[in-house]
Chain A
Amino acid sequence: MIINHPILGPRDSAEFTYMGDAALLDRPDWQAKDALLQFIDYGYLRDNPAGPHTELWYHEQGDRSFLVITRDTTTHEISSVKLASDVARGRGRSK
């Protein structure tokens, strides 16, 4: 596969490490009343869709950035690539 890195351009997926569902970006509030249940879901429950899937890829052999990629799991078509830091900031986080 080829991942079109927002800064570095097209790179071979072999340079990346797959880090799974991008839901990991949204860590639950540890002070919430049901924090335990939320963390169990956060730790163990993942969607496994046949179709577009938003996931994290870590450019381990490159600039060490985390990317949020939307990839169709049935065709490997990649429809969007963003820096994870930009995605997090877009959701109102500081980093």
Chain B
Amino acid sequence: MSQINRLGGGQIDRTKTLNFKFDGKSFQGHDGDTLASALLANNVRLMGRSFKYHRPRGVLTSGSEEPNAIIELRDGARQEPNTRATTAELFEGLTAKSQNKIGSLRFDFMAINDRFSNFLTAGFYYKTFMWPAAFWERVYEPIIRKAAGLGSISFENDPDEYDRGFLYCDLLIIGAGPSGLAAALTAGRAGAQVILADEDYTMGGRLNSERFSFVDQSGADWAVKTVAELASLPNVRVMARTTVLGAFDHGIYGALERVSDHIAVPEAGKPRQILWKIYSKRSLLCAGATERPIAFENNDRPGIMLAGAMRSYANRWAVTAAHNVAIFTNNDDGHKTATDLHAAGVSIAAVVDIRQNAPPSQDYEVIAGGQVVNSTGRLGLTSIDISLPDGSRRTLPCGALGMSGGWNPNIHITSHHRGHPVWNEEIAAFGPPDNGPVGLSVAGAALGNFTTAGALASGSSKANTILKNLGIKENKLALPLAEDAPANMTPFWYVEGCSRAWLDQQNDVTVKDVKLSHQENFVSVEHLKRYTTLGMATDQGKTSNMGGLAIMAELTGKTIPEVGTTIFRPPYTPTAIGAFAGRDRGTDFRPTRQSPSHKWATEQGAVFVEVGMWLRAQWFPKAGETHWRESVDREVVATRKSVGICDVTTLGKIDVQGADFCYIPQQNLL
């Protein structure tokens, strides 16, 4: 099948074609693709079924915050459920399956749940399965268990190895976007011991996704050049494919390096993943920001995604979800997507901006003051309904829609020590708390500096403050000239009058569910989360939490900071249990202890029992004995008639100290 949605340019290697399979069907992509970008290139928008209603879903994002495109990667013993297609790197022979369906992805029998959505609202289980109590274990639980959960596991032993390691540094930089790279360059050139970690396989963050981050050069090229310089410095360790999972006490961070996840089978002697414990004197969070969707009726159809992700797909992976695209935005950033896609030859159906003063365009239609109120297309978007400022409606055919509701700083790690995020009115989002982990600073978009120039400057200046703290000579960096246009934004969370507007696509939480939660007096954010499951599961609400808070704020007549937010816990992204176990598995999980008579007992054919770490001989079967009682009876009789010896090493030790210590065992006083 040809890659009909492939555009020109991008950071993929077109000379290397990779074959892969999705749901048994063969496709081709290129080196540098993720599974999601390769599927989009092949015009596959439908990638999964939703958790509760089994609604058809496609990709929403282009990174680790993905709630929808959750797939089963690989097969056999290496099968991994609930993996994000947006972060899975493509390799030759990759196999993936969609999950959470009965039948095929296109015709899922469980989609019947969607017809009963009026009954399956928030709290459905709590209310319905109350009576009769005796039914719980026998009837309800097995049915619910079968319907719940997403992927399946192979039940085979994991054939891969996992390892653990320890690293030490003056400064740990989390994230290698513009601010992280500027900080690493500042501190690295000054001679500090620096570790630069990024979850992506290509460093540079949004520099790889934007066409015009720098005035006189390409942002992606600058990232490549900078990473190369950093890698050449002996005092800097550059770690790609490494997610910093959590902040622990006294400057200790946990990080997971995916050593072999981008190839079919790990190289001989290499682990699949390494869990690093990083001891840092100071740390700098440059984790960037995550775009927010806008809730409107049926905003979950395959083809509807974040506008920033659309731009990443176009600029980094040279892919568009469709050849006729619309944008729905409340800020200037959404218009960038339209400009970039238009330049790449994609036709722009319209840019729908909720603001009356939306910036006009020569190249495509801008509907100022409009709102997208509904969408159609059963297995993928075919058209959207727009309400115009004069109150009339208009239907606009399009194959993909980009939503841009502003950006949320990625401040998760700053609240790992229970610090509560602080509202920043300027960007209408939560920023880092004042009482974050000791030694941790924040820079770049994670601090609300959303322009490239702002991110570079803040990364470099924060690094210099840290250097000064550590007693290392500061280093003034000549920063490249970068874009510095303020991203004007009017906060807008959801379209009025919707019944099924999706907030949390992973947990199938709608605006209506939040309203129901309020109606039933679950108004605290913590109650809201537990009652509706908003913000739970593998994405932990990275794209959905803010929408829920905004609606609850409106319903309770409070401001968003008054309603407050839930805080974040490690790990930042889902982590395999195997990585935590490391080499402590199988017989290496704990030592096996053998008594002095073990060798002799083995030679006699003893049957052993595990007692704690010890192996103890239970009985010694002889030829012809078929049941343990026969052996034991024979041993009992033999002991009665003559002598028996029992090795009780396994029962413990008695420590005898002091004067006359010989006397006690000699006199059999023990």
Contact = CB atoms under 8 A, between A and B. Distances in A.
Interface of A: 1-2, 12, 75-78
A2 B251 contact: yes
B249 interface: yes
Nearest to A1: B249
A92 B236 CA distance: 51
Q: Secondary structure of the B side of the interface?
A: mixed
Contacts of B279: 2, 12
B417 A1 contact: no
A2 B438 contact: no
A89 B221 CA distance: 65
Nearest to A4: B250
Nearest to B250: A2
B252 interface: yes
A78 B249 CA distance: 10
Contacts, number: 14
Contacts of A76: 249-250
Interface of B: 249-252, 279, 417, 438
Q: Secondary structure of the A side of the interface?
A: loop
Contacts of B251: 2
Contacts of B250: 1-2, 76, 78
A20 to B, nearest CB: 19
A77 B438 contact: yes
A43 B167 CA distance: 41
B428 to A, nearest CB: 31
Contacts of A78: 250
A6 B125 CA distance: 57
14 contacts: A1-B249, A1-B250, A1-B252, A2-B249, A2-B250, A2-B251, A2-B252, A2-B279, A12-B279, A75-B417, A76-B249, A76-B250, A77-B438, A78-B250
Nearest to B166: A12
Nearest to A13: B249
The residue among B249, B279, B438 with the most chain A CB atoms within 10 A of its own CB is B249
A77 B439 CA distance: 12
Contacts of B252: 1-2
A12 B251 CA distance: 11
B368 to A, nearest CB: 51
B323 to A, nearest CB: 55
A2 B249 CA distance: 8
Contacts of B417: 75
A12 B249 CA distance: 10
A77 B417 CA distance: 12
The 3 closest A-B pairs by CB, nearest first: A2-B250, A1-B249, A76-B249
A76 B250 CA distance: 8
A76 B437 CA distance: 11
A75 B250 CA distance: 10
A65 to B, nearest CB: 20
Contacts of B249: 1-2, 76
Given A2-B252, A75-B417, 12 more contacts: A1-B249, A1-B250, A1-B252, A2-B249, A2-B250, A2-B251, A2-B279, A12-B279, A76-B249, A76-B250, A77-B438, A78-B250
